[in-house]
Amino acid sequence: MRVLSWLYLAVAYAFVFLPVVVLVVFSFQDGRLPVPPFKGVTLDWYAKVLGDEDLMAALLNSLLVAVVSSLVALILGFLAAHALARVRLPGSVLMRGVLIAPMTVSYLIIALGLLTVFNQMGIRPSLWATGIGHVVINLPLCFAICYAAMGDHQKNAERAARDLGAAEWQVLALVSAPMLAAPLAAAFFLSVTFSWDEFIIAFLLTRFDVTLPVEIWSMLKSGLSPATNAVGSLVFLVSVTLVILLELTIFRRAK
Amino acid sequence: MTAGVSIQAVSQRYGTATALDAVSLEIAAGEFVVLLGPSGCGKTTLLNIIGGFAEPTKGHVLIGGRDMAGVAPKDRPTTTVFQDYALFPHMSLRDNVAFGLRMRGVDRTRRAAKADAMLALVGLEGRGDRRPHELSGGQRQRVALARALAVEPEVLLLDEPLGALDLKLRRQMQEELKAIQRRVGTTFVHVTHDQEEAMAIADRIVVMNAGRVEDFGPPRQVYLHPATLFTASFMGEVNRIPISGGRAPFGPVPVPDGTLCLRPEAISATGPLRIGPCRVADAAFFGTHVQAHVVPLSAPDLRLAVHLPQSAAVEVGAVLDLGAETFVVLQA
């Protein structure tokens, strides 16, 4: 039985990680095609990728969109969560539901909706449009994480701050937000990873300046190459680093 | 600085429930007043109204002669020590205590100096760099006190501040609280449901029940000469004896009709109000006194609780001739 359960574990992990492992391994392929047989190790593809100006521009765009849209989503989500957790409003259950609902809608539908709305409003596809799209998908996530983290403990501290003369913005900035530093950071980094990986909204809402996933897709159109694998590995590396940092700093401290 | 509080016919309703019913109180500047009562009596509601966390349905609150209607907590000359301390966990003790001064625009060095002085006042000298989670419950309570006093409020409100502490620590903190109040001279309004705590620290006790003030006076008066039956039994154990036509069940007594209230420790062999010979039904040694239940021979249905001196050797079945030292007669 023991052997079987270890075997099951191994198979499960292989199922999840084999594609990534293959991707990374063939990014070092010393040949023109990222398919078996493996012909030897080279860093040429990484050199090529890192020297590619379009790709590096796309990478910077992606970072910019991810950080800015996540910050906006975090601030909006935090404020909404704070209001709904602290103030008794008519229909607050409904408001909460409506705020979280976009999580259940596919990115494709959201992207199509945004495309239509932006066309109507005369907003051209751009990084800004993509950023707005990413705020739309990450706001429910940030809201849900912040809302779940708000408890009576903070409520009492906020009351004490008001009692000691803090104005409402000071209560938020000096007490509420710092007390929720861990969940706020978790929400931010999760948003960054989602935005960093997101393809379909970025594909439909960008035109000249594109994000990294869109650039990778256009590379794929010209056929398979170990260069694509190298880019994919870099993207994966960034995501994994973010998650590990998150685990080491925030989740560990929260325990 | 210190100010008096005038509460004028304050009522508070939540829907159909009445939390406070036309409560009026005059609290003098520099006084230590305790609001005492069972849970749900309205004492915390009244404290919240003084602090500005709730607006009364009716009536007025004046602090230092100024009407507080519509004045937010942050603009009132009051600060509060909360039951759960409500310290800011992400700040050092110094920053916690200095928070109110920071909100008032005091510069960094001056507020740090003031915070250190306040920490010294509550016995936490040199711990300014610690975080709240490094402290015990009693120490956190001291920080909360220092933080509330740092802004030199005219009135300090304390919402069951010792409720979470164990008995021994609570008794010790009571003494310190009283000493600190004497030192700073601020008006203290303190809420508790512990009558021993109330008597230990209060200049005057406000006994509350069901949204009304039952009694208001110094501990001695409230304990020995309660205004109502509720106060009499809330402040401590009491024997209630019905009097009608100048007669108690054990015989004639020279008091008006009503309910005669006798505290167990007021009953002794020498008391002027004679109860007469009583048989001891049970007795137990309590350390500070001997607690016994006695039945007057002339009234076999009456059972009185009596505290006799530590040295009294009381045996079950013995007959003692008893009387009462101090007593009150109250109308129900």
Give this complex's ipTM. 0.80
Indicate the residue of B82, B84, B151 with minimum beta-carbon distance to A165: B151
Q: Which residues, in sequence order, are CB contacts of B82 under 8 Å at separation 6+?
A: A156, A159, A160, B144, B159, B161
Q: Does residue B147 carry a pLDDT above 90?
A: yes
Q: Does residue A178 carry a pLDDT above 80?
A: yes
Q: What is the pLDDT of residue B138?
A: 85
B147 in contact with A, Cβ within 8 Å: yes
Residues in chain A: 255
3-state helix, strand, coil in chain B (%, to 5): 30, 35, 35
Q: What is the pLDDT of residue B257?
A: 87
For residue B258, the SS3 value is: strand
Tally the C-alpha atoms within 13 A of residue A244's C-alpha that lie toward its C-beta.
6
How far is the alpha carbon of A218 from chain B, nearest alpha carbon, in Å?
A: 48
Rounded Cα gap, residues B96 and B144, in angstroms: 8
Average pLDDT value for chain B: 89
Residues A203-210: what's their mean pLDDT?
83
B168 in contact with A, Cβ within 8 Å: no
Indicate the residue of B72, B89, B103 with minimum beta-carbon distance to A170: B103
Q: What is the pLDDT of residue A254?
A: 52
Quickly state the pLDDT bin for A251 (edges 50, 70, 90).
low
- The token duo for B70 is 């519509």
Q: Do A161 and B84 touch (CB under 8 A)?
A: no
Indicate the residue of B72, B84, B151 with minimum beta-carbon distance to A164: B151
Rounded Cα gap, residues B323 and B141, in angstroms: 45
> Could you give the residue ranges of the DSSP H alpha helices within chain B?
43-51, 93-103, 108-121, 137-150, 167-184, 195-201, 219-224, 229-234
Q: What is the pLDDT of residue B156?
A: 94
Q: Confirm if B279 and B297 have CB atoms less than 8 A apart.
A: yes
Choose among B30, B7, B19: nearest CA to B210.
B19
Domains of chain A by start residue, with CATH: 1-45+224-255 (no CATH), 53-221 (1.10.3720.10)
DSSP 8-class letter at B265: G
Indicate the residue of B73, B87, B147 with minimum beta-carbon distance to A162: B73
Contacts of B90 in chain A (CB under 8 A): 178-179, 181
Rounded Cα gap, residues B292 and B280, in angstroms: 7
Choose among A204, A197, A213: nearest CA to A114.
A204
CB under 8 A, 24+ apart: contacts of B92-95:
B92/B128, B92/B129, B92/B130, B92/B131, B93/B119, B93/B124, B93/B127, B93/B128, B93/B129, B93/B130, B93/B131, B93/B132, B93/B135, B93/B143, B94/B119, B94/B128, B94/B129
Among B33-37, B157-161, B253-257, the range scoring the smallest mean pLDDT is B253-257
Quickly state the pLDDT bin for B220 (edges 50, 70, 90).
very high
Among B20-24, B116-120, B246-250, the range scoring the smallest mean pLDDT is B246-250
- Chains A and B form CB pairs within 8 A to the count of 58
Tell me the residues of A at the B interface, defined by beta carbons under 8 Å apart. 156-157, 159-167, 170, 174-175, 178-179, 181
Contacts of B104 in chain A (CB under 8 A): 165
CA B193 to each of CA B42, B164, B199, B233: distance values in angstroms, whole numbers, following the listed order: 11, 12, 11, 13
Q: Confirm if A74 and A140 have CB atoms less than 8 A apart.
A: no
Choose among B161, B167, B216: nearest CA to B24.
B216
Rounded Cα gap, residues A190 and A173, in angstroms: 22
Q: Does residue B198 carry a pLDDT above 60?
A: yes
Residues B24-44: what's their mean pLDDT?
91
Q: Which residue of B has its CA nearest to A165?
A: B74
Q: Does residue A175 carry a pLDDT above 60?
A: yes
Q: Which residues, in sequence order, are CB contacts of B176 under 8 Å at separation 6+?
A: B122, B123, B142
3-state helix, strand, coil in chain A (%, to 5): 80, 0, 20
Q: Does residue B219 carry a pLDDT above 80?
A: yes
Residues B246-253: what's their mean pLDDT?
84
Report helix angle A92-100 to A127-149, nearest 10: 130
